[in-house]
């Protein structure tokens, strides 16, 4: 792990420190979920900025690692785009959480509606820029990389982009659940609904293909055909959870309370 951290710092010092800052902030938010009582949609308000900060940490470190392989790529522009756009989202989400208000789907005032739209623009720009990186990995040659690892990066970015845009399904509904309005459950940290369909499940699975597939390919699979097959299965899993959520069904069947009937 220490070797990876040292290598990442050498490859992309900017995204290394940005990701590290997001990790530290995420841990602070996690502590706040246990020490504050502010709630949004029935759960502690700081769970949301925690999830966004931690996800940004993973994204920044992954892209900092991958982009090192791209020749003639303007890495400084990409770095600053990621930091400013995703940093803006984290700051605004945190501000709204501290006020006990929603950052997403909040159209109660023209200012909040504008900020919600700006967050959508920020996420879209980062996703499109990352999609461009994916195109470069498909169109350029990387003789220094194992073929299986290269395919894992390509497909990981592809699945990430597809399910990042799946976020628009939530934005258009002004709700992350189907069958109830923004239902949350006390399910570990993710808070996915236990009673209705939750669009965040496929969003989460798909976007983290960016980290899961390259790591799995490099350390476990070590084979191109196996990498492509597992990537297809992973994408199918993300798609299946999306279809399930759109049908209003939770990820896991809700437990039924069995009551004994006395005649």
pLDDT of residue 230: 98
Kindly tell me the sign of the dihedral angle through the C-alpha atoms of 186, 192, 193, 194: negative
At 57, the pLDDT band (50, 70, 90 cuts) reads very high
pLDDT in tens, 230-251: 999 999 999 999 999 999 999 9
The vertex-205 CA angle with 247 and 12, nearest 5°, equals: 150
Query: What pLDDT score was predicted for residue 1?
Result: 76
In whole angstroms, what is the distance from residue 88 CA to residue 142 CA? 34
- Mean pLDDT over 108-134 rounds to 97
For residue range 130-168, list pLDDT tens digits in order: 999 999 999 999 999 999 999 999 999 999 999 999 999
Who wins on pLDDT, 118 or 181? 118
pLDDT in the model for residue 189: 82
Looking at residue 256, its pLDDT comes to: 54
Q: Is the pLDDT of residue 177 over 50?
A: yes
Q: How large is the average pLDDT for residues 169-198?
A: 88
- 223 has pLDDT over 80: yes
Report whether pLDDT(263) > 70.
no
Q: Which of these ranges, 50-54, 81-85, 128-132, 185-189, has the smallest mean pLDDT?
A: 185-189
pLDDT of residue 255: 65
pLDDT of residue 245: 96
Percent of the residues in the chain that have a pLDDT greater than 90, as a whole number: 87
3-state SS string over the chain?
CHHHHHHHHHHCHHHHHHHHHHHHHHHHHHHHHHHCCCEECCEECCHHHHHHHHHHHHHHHHHHHHHHHCCCCCHHHHHHHHHHHHHHHHHHHHHHHHCCCCCCCCCCCHHHHHHHHHHHHHHHHHHHHHHHHHHHHHHCCCCCCCHHHHHHHHHHHHHHHHHHHCHHHHHHHCCCEECCCCCCCCCCCCCCCCCCEECHHHHHHHHCHHHHHHHHHHHHHCCHHHHHHHHHHHHHHHHHHHHHHHCCCCCCCCCCCCCCCCC
pLDDT at 49 over 60: yes
Is residue 184 predicted with pLDDT exceeding 80?
yes
pLDDT of res. 125: 98
Q: Is residue 71 over pLDDT 70?
A: yes
């Amino acid at each position: 792990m220490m070797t990876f951290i040292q290598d990442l710092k050498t490859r992309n010092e900017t995204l290394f420190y940005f990701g590290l800052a997001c990790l530290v902030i995420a841990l602070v938010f996690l502590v706040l979920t246990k020490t504050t009582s502010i709630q949004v949609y029935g759960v502690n308000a700081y769970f949301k900025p925690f999830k966004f900060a931690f996800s940004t940490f993973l994204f920044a470190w992954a892209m900092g690692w991958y982009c090192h392989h791209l020749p003639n790529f303007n890495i400084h522009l990409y770095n600053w785009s990621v930091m400013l756009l995703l940093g803006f989202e984290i700051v605004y989400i945190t501000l709204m959480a501290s006020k006990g208000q929603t950052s997403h789907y909040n159209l109660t005032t023209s200012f909040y509606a504008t900020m919600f739209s700006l967050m959508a623009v920020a996420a879209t720009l980062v996703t499109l820029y990352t999609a461009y990186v994916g195109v470069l990995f498909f169109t350029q040659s990387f003789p220094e990389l194992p073929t299986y690892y290269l395919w894992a990066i390509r497909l990981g970015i592809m699945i990430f982009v597809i399910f990042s845009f799946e976020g628009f399904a939530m934005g258009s509904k002004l709700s992350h659940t189907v069958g109830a309005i923004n239902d949350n459950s006390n399910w570990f940290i993710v808070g996915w609904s236990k009673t209705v369909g939750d669009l965040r499940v496929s969003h989460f699975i798909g976007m983290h293909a960016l980290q899961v597939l390259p790591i799995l390919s490099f350390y476990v699979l070590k084979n191109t055909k196996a990498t492509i097959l597992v990537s297809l299965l992973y994408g199918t899993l993300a798609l299946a959870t999306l279809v399930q959520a759109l049908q209003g069904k939770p990820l896991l069947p809700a437990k039924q309370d069995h009551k004994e009937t006395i005649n």
